[in-house]
Structure 1
Amino acid sequence: MRSESSGCENLTVSPLEVNGYAEFFQQFDSLNLKSGEKVTVKTDSIAADSTAKKPFLQMAIEYNADDSVTFSLTGQKVFLTNNAFVKYGATELRAYYIELDIAKKEAFAYGIKDSTDKFIHTPEFKDGTEEFKCKELKYNFETGKGLVNEVITEQESGYVHSEITKRMDDKTFFLKNGKYTTCDHPHPHFYVRMTKAKMIKDDKIVSGPLHIVLEDVPLPVGLPFGFFPFSSKYSSGILLPSYGEEARRGFNLRGGGYYWAINDYVDLAVRGDIFSNGSWGTYVQSKYKKRYRYSGRLETEYHKNKYGDKGLDDYSEATDFAVRWTHTQDSKANPYRTFSASVNFSTSENDRNNSTSIDKIVNNQKQSSISYSKKWPGSPFSLNGSLRHSQNSRDTTISLTLPSLSLNMTQIYPFRTKGKSSNLKWYDKVGVSYSSKMENRINIKEKELMSSSLTKDWKNGYQHSIPVTTNFKLARDLTLSPTLNYQGVLYSRSIRRHWDETLNKTVDDTIQGIQYAHNYSTSASLSLSPKIYGMYTFNKTSKIEAIRHVMTPSISVSYTPEIGVDRDKYYRTYKRDGKDIEYSIFDGSLYGTPTGAKESGSINLSLDNNVEAKIRTANDTTGNEDFKKVKLLESLKFSTSYNMFADSLNWSNIRMTGRTKIFNSKLDLSFNSTVDPYALNANNVKINKFGPRITNASIDLGFRLSSSDFKGEDEKGGKEGEKTPDEMKFVQFDVPWSFSLDYGWTYSKPTIKSNVNQNVGLRGDFSLTPKWKINFSTGYDFANKAVTATQFSLIRDLHCWQMTFSTIPFGTYQSYNFKLNVKSSVLQDLKYEKKKVWQDN
Structure 2
Amino acid sequence: MTGSLAAQEKADSLFLLETTTLLAPDSLIFVQDSVPTDTLTGDTLKEKPLFEDIIAYDAQDSIRFSVEQKKVFLYGNANVKYITTELNANFIELDMEKKQAFASGLPDTSGTIVGTPIFKDGTQEFESKELRYNFETGKGFVKDIITQEGDGYVQGKLTKKLTDSIYCVKEGWYTTCDQHDHPHFYIRMNKAKMIRDKKVIAGFSNLVLEDVPLPLFIPFGFFPITKKGTSGIIMPTYGDERMRGFNLRNGGYYWAISDYIDLALTGDIYTNGSWGANLITNYRKRYKYNGNLNFTMSRNHTSEKGMPDYTQSSDWSIRWTHAQDNKANPYSTFSASVDISSANNNYYNSTNINDIANQRKQSSISWSKKWPEKPFSLTAAFSHNQNSRDSSISITLPNVNFRVSQFYPFRKKGKSGDLKWYDNIAVSYSAELRNSIQTKEDLLFKSSFDKWQNGFKHSIPINTTINVIKDVSLTPQFSYNAVLYTHAIRKYWVSDTSYYAKGYVKKDTINGFHYAHNYTASVTLAYNPTIYGMYMFKPNSKIHAVRHVIRPSVSVSYTPKMGVKRSKYYNTYLDVDNAEHEYSIFEDGIYGTPSGTQKNSGTISMSIDNNIEMKVRNDKDTTGENEFKKIKILESLRIGTSYDIFADSMNWSNIQITARTKLFNDKLNLDVTAVLDPYAVNVNGTRINKFHGGLGRLRSVSASTGFQFSSDDGKNREEKNELVGGFYDHYVDFDVPWAVSVDYTLNYTKSWTRNPNPGATKALSEGTISQMLRVNGDFSLTPKWKIGFSTGYDFDNHEVTATSFNISRDLHCWDMTFSCIPFGTHQSYNFQINVRSSLLRDLKLTKKESWYDTGNFYR
> Please, what TM-score do these two structures have when normalized by structure 2?
0.88
Structure 2's unaligned 5+ residue stretches are 8-12, 38-43, 753-764
- Structure 1 equivalent of residue 509 of structure 2: 511
Deviations 1:228-248 (A, max 9, x none): 333233343222222222111
How much does 1:289 deviate? Answer: 2.9
Q: Counterparts of 1:439 and 1:503 in 2: how far apart (Å)? A: 40
Alignment of 1:826 with 2:839, yes or no, is yes
Q: Secondary structure at the match of 2:261?
A: coil
Which secondary structure state, in structure 2, belongs to the residue aligned with residue 450 of structure 1? helix
Distance 1:369 1:90, change over 3 A: closer
1:669 maps to 2:670: yes
CA distance in 2, matches of 1:743, 1:420: 55
Q: 1:556 — aligned with what?
A: 555
**CA gap 1:498/1:412 in 2 versus in 1, 3 angstroms:** farther
Verify the 8 A CA contact 2:741 2:776 in the aligned structure 1.
yes
SS in 1 for 2:306: coil
Shift, 1:421, TM fit: 4.6
One-letter identity of the residue aligned with 2:565: D
1:274-673 equivalences in 2 (<5 Å) = 274-455=269-450, 457-491=451-485, 492-498=487-493, 502-503=500-501, 507-513=505-511, 514-575=513-574, 577=577, 579-597=579-597, 598-618=599-619, 626-673=627-674
Q: Distance in 2 between matches of 1:175 and 1:809?
A: 49
- Equivalence for 1:40: 28
The 2-side partners of 1:41 and 1:109 are apart by 22
Deviations 1:545-578 (A, max 9, x none): 2121111111100011111222222333344555
Deviates more, 1:154-163 or 1:419-428: 419-428
Preserved contact between residue 703 and residue 741 of structure 1 (Cα < 8 Å): yes
The match for 1:808 is: 821
Which of residues 691, 694, 699 is equivalent to 1:695? Answer: 699
SS, match of residue 423 in structure 1:
coil
Map Cα deviations across residues 261-308 of structure 1 (whole Å, 9 max, x no partner): 333433332211111111111112223333333322222111111111
Check conservation: 1:499, 1:575, Cα contact below 8 A. no
Report if the CA contact (8 A) 1:695-1:749 is conserved.
Answer: yes
Q: State the distance in 2 between where 1:147 and 1:774 align.
A: 50
Instruction: Give the letter for the 1:246 counterpart.
Output: E
Partner of 1:12: 3
Equivalent of residue 764 in structure 1, options 760, 771, 777: 777
Quote the Cα distance in structure 2 between the aligned partners of 1:11 and 1:435: 80
Answer whether contact 1:147 1:167 (CA < 8 A) is retained.
yes
C-alpha spacing 1:459/1:116, structure 2 compared with 1 (3 Å): farther
Q: Would you say the 8 A contact 1:822–1:831 is kept in 2? A: yes
Cα distance between partner residues in 1 of 2:723 and 2:674: 45
Does the Cα contact within 8 Å between 1:286 and 1:298 map onto a contact in 2?
Answer: yes
5+ residue gaps, structure 1: 1-9, 711-715
Q: TM-score if structure 1 supplies the norm length?
A: 0.90
Change (3 A) 1:395 1:585: same
Mapped contact 1:495–1:586 kept (Cα < 8 A):
no
1:46 to partner: Cα distance: 7.9
Aligned to 1:792: 805
Aligned equivalents of 1:450, 1:559: Cα separation in 2: 48
Q: 2:264 aligns with which of 250, 260, 269?
A: 269
Distance in 1 (CA, whole Å) between partners of 2:742 and 2:32 is 90
Report the alpha carbon displacement of residue 612 of structure 1 after superposing the two structures with TM.
1.9
| Alpha-carbon contact 1:494-1:515 (below 8 Å) kept | no
The DSSP-based 3-state class of the residue aligned with 2:516 is: strand
Distance of 1:226 and 1:670 partners within structure 2: 60
Decide which moves more: 520-529 or 825-834.
825-834
Number of residue pairs the alignment of both structures matches: 816
Encode CA deviations 1:695-721: one digit per residue, 9 max, x unaligned. 1112211111112139xxxxx68x989
Which residue of 1 is the match for residue 247 of structure 2?
Answer: 252
1:704 aligns with 2:727: no
Cα deviations by residue, 1:111-138 (Å, 9 ceiling, x for unpaired): 4678998654433333433322222223
| Greater shift in the superposed pair: 771-780 or 49-58 | 49-58
Secondary structure at 1:341 match in 2: strand
Against the structure 1 CA distance between its residues 116 and 774, is the aligned structure 2 distance closer, same or farther, given a 3 Å change threshold? farther
Separation of aligned partners in 1, 2:223 and 2:367:
45
Q: State the Cα distance separating 1:614 from its structure 2 match.
A: 2.1
Structure 2: how far apart are the matches of 1:362 and 1:637? Answer: 36
824 and 518 in structure 1: CA distance in 2 versus 1, 3 angstrom threshold: same
The range that moved more, 751-760 or 101-110, is 101-110
From 801, 819, 835, the counterpart of 2:848: 835
Any idea what the Cα deviations from partners look like across 1:748-777, whole Å, max 9, x if unmatched? 114322111222211111222222221211
Residue-by-residue CA offset, 1:466-505 (whole Å, 9 max, x unaligned) = 2211121101111111111122223322241548673568
Is 2:54 the partner of 1:59? yes
Moved more, 593-602 or 166-175: 166-175
Distance of 1:108 and 1:480 partners within structure 2:
94
CA gap of 1:271–1:723, structure 2 versus 1, over 3 A, is: closer
User: Distance between the aligned counterparts of 1:390 and 1:818, measured in 2?
Assistant: 37
8 Å Cα contact 1:696/1:750 also seen in 2: no
CA contact (8 A) 1:618 1:625 kept: no
Comparing 732-741 with 385-394, greater Cα deviation is found at 732-741
Deviates more, 1:130-139 or 1:654-663: 130-139
Q: What displacement does 1:398 show? A: 0.8
Segment drifting more, 533-542 vs 137-146: 137-146
Mean alpha-carbon deviation: is it higher for 817-826 or for 569-578? 569-578
Supply the AA of the counterpart residue of 1:742. D
Q: 1:117 to 1:775 in 2, by over 3 A?
A: farther
1:723-762 aligned within 5 A: 724-726=722-724, 729-751=730-752, 752-762=765-775
Contact 1:173 1:199 in 2 (8 A): yes
SS at 1:708 equivalent: coil
Displacement, 1:168?
A: 2.8
Is the 1:413–1:428 contact (alpha carbons within 8 Å) kept by the matching residues of 2? yes
**Correspondent of 2:193 among 190, 195, 198:** 198
Return the alpha-carbon distance in structure 2 between the equivalents of residues 543 and 589 of structure 1.
65
Q: Tell me if the contact between 2:719 and 2:730 (Cα under 8 Å) persists in the aligned partners.
A: no
